């Protein structure tokens, strides 16, 4: 478990852009409004989302809807608004653990650094609203909203077998 976080932390320090092949692949699967939400993200976030989508693609069987690949690709697009780097993100996660998720989310309407921390913590809801506003896939909005709330999986419109694969791909 700790090993996972340590690995993820060092992966997130790399600012290397995704490969041109990966960027072309994204452009070939995402419709224009969804691609626009993706393209504005940092190299680190694009790499993470491409990785998730690739893992999801491999996890799909011949009878599964290919839309789940795009659903996986878009789950963190709401991170754009906070504009936080890796250390601000780590601080946000620590704060949410110490003082509670709800309180940190409540900072989203504030200005300054606290506001950015609040926006980062709220990236799931922000991303969902942006996907809907752009006319993107509704299932992608649902997964964005849900991806940090496993306790809500059972009441979701997305089948549990798909949710498990989406969740596993987000690592």
Binding mask 131-160 for Fe ion (x = CB under 5 A): ------------------------------
Which structure tokens are listed for 12? 């997130």
Question: Which phi and psi angles does 128 have, rounded to 5°?
Answer: -60, -45
Q: Closest CB to Fe ion among 76 and 145? A: 76
Binding mask 19-58 for Fe ion (x = CB under 5 A): ----------------------------------------
Q: What is the distance between the alpha carbons of residues 26 and 47, in angstroms, rounded to a whole number?
A: 11
Question: What stretches of 14-149 show up as alpha helix (H) in DSSP?
Answer: 20-29, 32-39, 43-59, 67-73, 86-99, 101-105, 112-121, 123-133, 138-146
Report the site for Fe ion in 67-86 (rule: CB under 5 A).
Answer: 76
Q: Closest CB to Fe ion among 63 and 102? A: 102
Q: Closest CB to Fe ion among 128 and 134? A: 128
């Amino acid at each position: 478990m700790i090993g996972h976080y340590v690995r993820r932390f060092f992966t997130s320090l790399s600012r290397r852009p995704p490969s041109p092949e990966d960027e072309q692949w994204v452009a070939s699967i995402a419709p224009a409004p969804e691609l626009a939400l993706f393209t504005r993200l940092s190299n680190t976030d694009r790499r993470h989302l491409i990785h998730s989508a690739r893992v999801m693609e491999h996890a799909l069987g011949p009878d599964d809807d290919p839309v789940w690949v795009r659903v996986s690709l878009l789950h963190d697009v709401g991170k754009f608004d906070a504009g936080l780097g890796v250390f601000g993100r780590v601080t946000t996660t620590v704060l949410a653990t110490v003082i509670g998720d709800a309180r940190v989310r409540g900072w989203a309407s504030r200005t300054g650094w606290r506001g950015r921390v609040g926006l980062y913590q709220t990236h799931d809801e922000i991303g969902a609203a942006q996907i809907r506003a752009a006319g993107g896939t509704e299932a992608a909005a649902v997964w964005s909203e849900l991806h940090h709330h496993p306790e809500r999986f059972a009441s979701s419109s997305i089948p549990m077998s798909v949710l498990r694969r989406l969740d596993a791909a987000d690592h």
